[in-house]
A and B are shown apart, each in its own frame.
Chain A
Amino acid sequence: MAPDLENSEILPEKKALISKKIDSFFTDIYNVYKFIALFFKELFSRPFEWKEVINQCYQVGYKSLALVSLTGFITGVVFTKQSRPSLSTFGASSWLPSLVSIAIIRALAPLVTALIAAGKVGSNMGAELGSMKVTEQIDAMEVSATNPFKFLVVTRILAITFMMPVLILYTGFIGMMGSYLNVHANELTSLTAYFKSAFATISFLDIFSSIFKATMYGFTIGVAGCYQGYHAQNGTQGVGKAANTAVVLSMFLIFVEELVIVQVVNAIR
């Protein structure tokens, strides 16, 4: 039987709380929408901050290179090792290179790289902009007649959006090298034979969709990190919260995007 909701004592309070939460959820979405709209507006207005974009690209690459190299390599080795027994059962271990390359290029490299970048670059953006916000450095920039949105936000979002495809292709390559080492150790396959077999199954659509995904993930991480940082409040506590929310939010959105893009790409295939 349904409880008597109308006469419940706590209900009005809860109702108010829930409606407040729903309210703030929609204001948040609206604010993010405005933030993205402002990004595109400032993106196409002069002067362009090319120097700062390049500086930020370097920062993104520098911050994540070691970590994605390591994780990409390990992913390649482990995935190959784990897949071998099932393939061997069917006497199909010669399919390993193509199986692994499909898995790495289509799914593993984009996801692993994006999650690492969310943790490393996204949190850094949240923390860096957040601390600039709460210590009035962003205000200081604005009163010295520099548009802080353009100088800090647009450059960072652009940088990670550009760099993500590069990083993902790189991780894919490193992952396949890891996989090759394992295959070579077990099946004595040569490098050329390995790559021939690996690339035989990878289509242009695979590469294209991975690059497209990478761009989306990069943009997502950039917007989440910068939005959280740029709107940080309440002193140092707010900086931590901005960094944390940036990571959680972008990781969640990356998985949602992955799900949607996979559906679309498979429909095209």
Chain B
Amino acid sequence: MDTKDIYTEAKRPVISIRDLKKSFGTLTVLNGIDIDILKGENIAVLGKSGSGKSVLIKIISGLLKPDSGIVKVLGQEVDKITAAELQQLRLKIGFSFQNSALYDSMSVKENLAFPLVRNKRDLSIKEVNDAIEEVLNEVGLSQTINQMPSELSGGQKKRIGIARTLILKPEIMLYDEPTSGLDPMTSIEINNLINKVKQQYNTSSIIITHDLTCAKQTADRVTMLLNGKFLPPGKFEDVFNTQDQSLRTFYDYNFINSK
């Protein structure tokens, strides 16, 4: 796998993880994760449910603490910095949750305003409204501004969830199963949005997914979380030429042996 040429491109890693371990009681979930995610790179992480994908990105965003290992995000060790520093760091990390996690007591507009007004208290109402309009346009949902989350479809919720993170102009995006539960058409819209975000905001992303189409369309590199470790990451085509049984299972299921 020629990951080497990507490394030599003199890009700095925005996320750098070394020998990360995490257990819950007797259940070992992550058992020595090593990865560098480079500036402007999208990396897809595959893995069956319960393999610890969400735990990994929760550790990256400081929602969970690692048991051991080094997790550096934008040069800072997330589990070592102070609460105030973590707060600042989090403004640069966008987290798109699996079930969108929109605040269901707030309208779309209030959802989008929330991260902004709470972190940039000196903004005028007009500046906030402009920012909301901008991200809503970005995700193509301007018409939903006064709706409640319960009135949105699954795909719309996902996009509003992404918009809510974009409003802070993040450097890193973490997508937790962005296309799960969506029909193929809507999935493709989300994939396109992920690519658009990468270009427009120059983000680096981790995209957790079961969906190989999503991985293929959005990722520069693909890896798989297996037994608490990453398989060596590589380009989509390279990774899926492998005879590794667990990868073949994914591949065969998604493309119904189209090879």
Footprint of B on A, CB under 8 Å?
Answer: 128, 131-132, 135-137, 139-146
Contact = CB atoms under 8 A, between A and B. Distances in A.
Nearest to B61: A143
Given A143-B95, A144-B168, A145-B91, A136 B101 contact: yes
B162 interface: no
Chain A interface mostly: helix
Contacts of A131: 104
A107 to B, nearest CB: 36
B119 A145 contact: yes
Contacts of A137: 101-104
B97 interface: yes
B186 interface: no
A34 B188 CA distance: 46
Contact of B118 (A128, A143, A145): A145
Contact of A143 (B88, B90, B105): B90
10 contacts: A136-B101, A137-B101, A137-B102, A139-B95, A143-B93, A143-B95, A144-B165, A145-B119, A146-B114, A146-B118
A145 B97 CA distance: 15
State which size class the interface on B falls in: 20 to 34
A140 B98 contact: no
B58 interface: yes
A131 B101 CA distance: 10
Contacts of B104: 131, 135, 137
B87 to A, nearest CB: 5
A89 B2 CA distance: 100
Given A137-B103, A139-B58, A144 B98 contact: no
Interface string B107-148: 000000011001100000000000000000000000000000
A145 B58 CA distance: 14
A136 B105 CA distance: 14
A140 B118 contact: no
A144 B90 CA distance: 6
Contacts of B119: 144-146
A135 B99 CA distance: 7
Given A135-B101, A136-B98, A143 B114 contact: no
B164 interface: yes
Top 7 closest A-B pairs, CB basis? Answer: A144-B115, A140-B101, A136-B101, A143-B95, A145-B90, A145-B87, A136-B97
Nearest to B58: A139
Interface in B152-183: 164-165, 168
B101 A139 contact: yes
A128 B104 CA distance: 10
